[in-house]
Structure 1
């Protein structure tokens, strides 16, 4: 039920964001984080997550998107070692994002957890992603060096929304 609610809320948020950003389609990608869109986006997130704190709303939204678009073993048909790949983000020290990656084997009880600190000061806040045509996943790239940061199920709209939310979160965390 929570998954359906999250998807409905995400769709509503995407629709409202699309209506706000529709006039800006011809502009360059640098205009993605302009102040009017950012204000509307953050206002909608704060309303959606019932908080007045932008950072808490962004963290909650990123974690909901990571849960919704997690790469599950069920999507990996035909692969030898299918596993769930789950992520969570949280705020670290000033200017730092903590990323928790949990890998669960489909059979057995093997769980591997990896924690990563992502320093954000001095990096471009725009998160880029790739969704290869022949693959089953999308990879979001670390804004610091372009290395793979996290992997989600292949869904262009989900990857775009997650990249946008992470970009706003990074920009927020860079404030200190």
Structure 2
């Protein structure tokens, strides 16, 4: 692709592997989310101090909170063509405030605008108040979420909250704002 004129490579890639976001609607989708959960938790282990279990896998953690039949929660998959590149798990759909429970994009797809398009799609799909947690020590994620808050949410603010049951790690940062 490096031999193509400037800008043409991106057009070819976009045509061959279009970016799209889908609701995780069936068992096959949720199996993809479960498999992507492992690199997600691995990425967070740098900031949370977690290690895999004896079998080499990370615990399911909050993944167990999501059930596709629960009308208060929803999962999304981002794809390039047929290749999954990330997931988002949202809860609070029936309440006053939506919560970005988990958000992940694989490293190979970062830096190309896919994470931004994915996050914006998910947030705008559920207008109203939002809360999005991130680790301040995760500099890239902190910059990403703050920028999204500035550009997508109205009246965005930020606060620190301790991580329940984990006094040994720094408090999470919480982005609060309203999606139009």
TM-score scaled by length of structure 2: 0.24
TM-score scaled by length of structure 1: 0.25
Considering fraction of residues, name the structure with more helix.
1
Considering fraction of residues, name the structure with more strand.
2
